[in-house]
Structure 1
Amino acid sequence: MCFPRHVFYGQDSLFKTGEEASKLGTNALIISDRIMKDFGYLEKCHRTLESAEVAYTDYLEVASEPTDVYVREALALLEKEQAEVVIALGGGSCIDTAKAVAVLASNGGEISEYMNNKRTASKNPFPLIAIPTTAGTGSEATDVTVITNTSNDVKMMIKQPAFMPEIAIVDPKLSMSSPKGTTAATGVDALTHALEAYISKKSHPFSDQLALSAAKLIMDNMESAYKDGSNEKAQENMALGAMQAGMAFSNASVCLVHGMSRPIGALFHVPHGISNAMLLPVVLEYSQESCVHRLAEMARFIFPDKKTFSDQEAANYLVEKVLLLCKNLDIPNLKDWGVNEEQYYSQLSKMAEDALDSGSPSNNPIVPDKEEIVGLYHKAFTYQYPKNLVIEANQREEI
């Protein structure tokens, strides 16, 4: 099992940053973005570092999905300023960039060299403090980084123990300022982590407990957090669920949704959370019959009043509830999101090949071939939620 050495969770835990950083060094590189500066979170981070007499330099050029360009720029700044500690403040893009910088700072090379474990980190990374500001990726508690290789438009999923942050600081207050669209996308991303960790061929009893707990927290609180960003209880539960989901998939791996999502992000610059959210209904419907028992177990955990359902009934109920959640969160299809149709269809073969090459689809309970993945991409582009979905869900509630 692989987890951060220390986890600080709860409102105002952001203010632990300076104290913890001072134990690791006297000079920090903060990897963040302009939005965190605008929200005032960066200033709060500065203040807590100043109170602990830790010097700092900001790298704020991360925008949307992380690329090898950001990694090179941030690493050059770290070396120039002789920083000893890396602090990530932001969403998954900032944290993934910081993970790559922390590893390369001590192990050298280009981040692309670590793809598929062609190169492994033999030295301890620079200490990394990860502070998420969205309830979604769970990157603060995983040994995974996802970086786009700009030379070939491939989103590299790299998993090694060295990419695990030293410290995770999860302050639910930081996600309250997220726009509704971001809350929806990152929340469904976290739900996808929990679902895929549970049905993964690499799942095990320890990751199962994390996945179940995460799925219930997210299903019970997602719509409340979406409708009212100031709902503290819902935001707290979403932050906890997202972290647990990250721990679950970091130890059990992800499956087909993530494998198919990465090429969409690399080629069309669709943020990771929303691409996962747009693919989840299609892939869940495709995978359902191959993992009925596992979906039924999760359904009974999330919805205790459905314990008398047969496996098939319970699995169907869970899938309906997930689709209904996505619909109520206004998750669009790829066409409605704005992906160019002609470009999309011209890239289907490459996307399917890149998805398979990532390795994630092989963890799925049913493993598609290239042609099947192309078919799923076709379906996802113009996917429509079942018209009777709300009626079916309401009818089930009355059983």
Structure 2
Amino acid sequence: MYRMILNETSYFGAGCREAIATEAGRRGFKKAFFVTDKDLIRFHVADKVVEVFEKAGIPYEIYSDVKANPTIANVQNGVAAFKASGADFIVALGGGSSIDTAKGIGIVVNNPEFADVRSLEGVADTRHKAVPTFALPTTAGTAAEVTINYVIIDEAATKKMVCVDPNDIPSVAIVDPELMYSMPKGLTAATGMDALTHAIESYITPGAWVMSDMFELKAIEMIAKNLKAAVDNGSDPVAREAMSQAQYIAGMGFSNVGLGIVHSMAHPLGAHYDTPHGVANALLLPYVMEYNAESPAAPKYLDIAKAMGVDTTGMSEAEGVKAAVEAVRQLSLSIGIPQKLHEIGVKEEDLHQLAIDAFNDVCTGGNPRPTSVEDIEALYHKAF
């Protein structure tokens, strides 16, 4: 049995943020709780959404207590602010951090028995759907607007909690590439590689099936073709639009079939060092792909290589594995992604603890090759 959970409604294309007014009106909503981060306010990206509110006469309240790796406190403060605001729906603008914070707020408001937030880790047994949420991504990577997952930092335990809950999926996804034009090169590169990681990991996870495979192969193909152009010229409308769609398509798959140990290994780096999630994924992806080639997923590497633009005519399975890993590594290098953990401030003496944390991560169960703390630690050393 397979299951697909997607948004009720999704909009795509330049300027589609205007649909906020259409959807709010159609659903009878009166006031928006606008979750975004301080940088998006400072660089006037949030103004593009505020203009829609003001033109449509929708009252709103801004909540911007959002960290790059959002914390339990960000969610709890948001719950209190939402209750005080009198709002009846949430509009989340940003990368994974703003949208994940909004998901946590929306879930706790309607499921107050989970108010401590820690109880949401893993697969939470919430009874009620989150507060209706409209999610507008500003990065082409996390696909948080279409997934049933969100990640919150437990600062006391130095841990990234991965929360999986069908009740948290935004009602409406609004994927407007115009909101992504101001993304700096480094963020464009990192979030694009995050999307590629989603596509590759969920293509080779044991839970993958015909529909998720269809999404992931198309996402890999679109990312391989457009990511470098989006990094090199941030205002290239064709590349930006393709990347905005590709990351969403990848999300449609991975949200429903899961990920693997690239994500398990990236999460502790974010918790311990505040490493940007996309950078951690991009750096680790080729090493983990090599490791996972020794699994039943190996034949699928030929498909990955082909989607990455490699001519795979006449290739053996082993050649396909090598070609897929090399294509990913070359794309990563071409957009300036660091290749070794020591380059991003990771300490060698921390690798054992990082491996323990990674092994216990919720994504580990989706890896195509059974693993262990020792194997993961060896991978960290290889990437060091």
TM-score (structure 1 length as normaliser) = 0.91
In structure 2, what is the equivalent of residue 294 of structure 1?
300
1:1-399 paired onto structure 2 within 5 Å: 1-24=4-27, 25-108=29-112, 109-117=115-123, 119-290=124-295, 291-303=297-309, 305-332=311-338, 333-339=340-346, 341=347, 345-381=348-384
Q: Please tell me the residue identity of whatever aligns with 2:22.
A: E
Deviation at 1:75, TM superposition (A): 1.1
Q: Please tell me the residue identity of whatever aligns with 1:286.
A: Y
Quick check: 1:225–1:235 contact (8 Å CA) kept in 2?
A: yes
Quick check: 1:22–1:53 contact (8 Å CA) kept in 2?
A: no
Question: Hey, which bits of structure 1, 4+ residues long, moved more than 6 A?
Answer: none
Deviation per residue, 1:334-354 (Å, 9 max, x gap): 221233x2xxx3433332222
Quick check: 1:19–1:49 contact (8 Å CA) kept in 2?
A: no
Deviation at 1:55, TM superposition (A): 1.0
Quick check: 2:148–2:168 contact (8 Å CA) kept in 1?
A: yes
Paired residue secondary structure (1:41): coil
Deviation per residue, 1:302-339 (Å, 9 max, x gap): 43742432222222212111011111111112221233
Quick check: 1:22–1:52 contact (8 Å CA) kept in 2?
A: no
Quick check: 2:220–2:307 contact (8 Å CA) kept in 1?
A: no
> C-alpha distance in 2, partners of 1:210/1:87?
26
> C-alpha distance in 1, partners of 2:21/2:236?
28
Q: Please tell me the residue identity of whatever aligns with 2:323.
A: Y
Deviation at 1:53, TM superposition (A): 2.3
Comparing 213-222 with 315-324, greater Cα deviation is found at 315-324
> C-alpha distance in 2, partners of 1:157/1:56?
29
> C-alpha distance in 1, partners of 2:80/2:308?
47
Paired residue secondary structure (1:347): helix
> C-alpha distance in 2, partners of 1:114/1:35?
28
The percent identity for this pair of structures is: 36
Deviation at 1:15, TM superposition (A): 1.8
CA RMSD of aligned residues (A): 1.5
> C-alpha distance in 2, partners of 1:8/1:44?
16
Quick check: 1:69–1:150 contact (8 Å CA) kept in 2?
A: no
Deviation at 1:300, TM superposition (A): 2.9
> C-alpha distance in 2, partners of 1:378/1:69?
33
Deviation at 1:168, TM superposition (A): 0.3
Unaligned runs of 5+ residues in structure 2 are: none
> C-alpha distance in 1, partners of 2:221/2:307?
7
Paired residue secondary structure (1:351): helix
Comparing 155-164 with 107-116, greater Cα deviation is found at 107-116
Deviation at 1:301, TM superposition (A): 4.0
Comparing 164-173 with 295-304, greater Cα deviation is found at 295-304
Quick check: 1:31–1:89 contact (8 Å CA) kept in 2?
A: yes
Quick check: 2:70–2:97 contact (8 Å CA) kept in 1?
A: yes
> C-alpha distance in 2, partners of 1:311/1:379?
24
> C-alpha distance in 2, partners of 1:336/1:39?
29
> C-alpha distance in 1, partners of 2:329/2:310?
19
Deviation per residue, 1:209-240 (Å, 9 max, x gap): 00000000001111111111111111111111
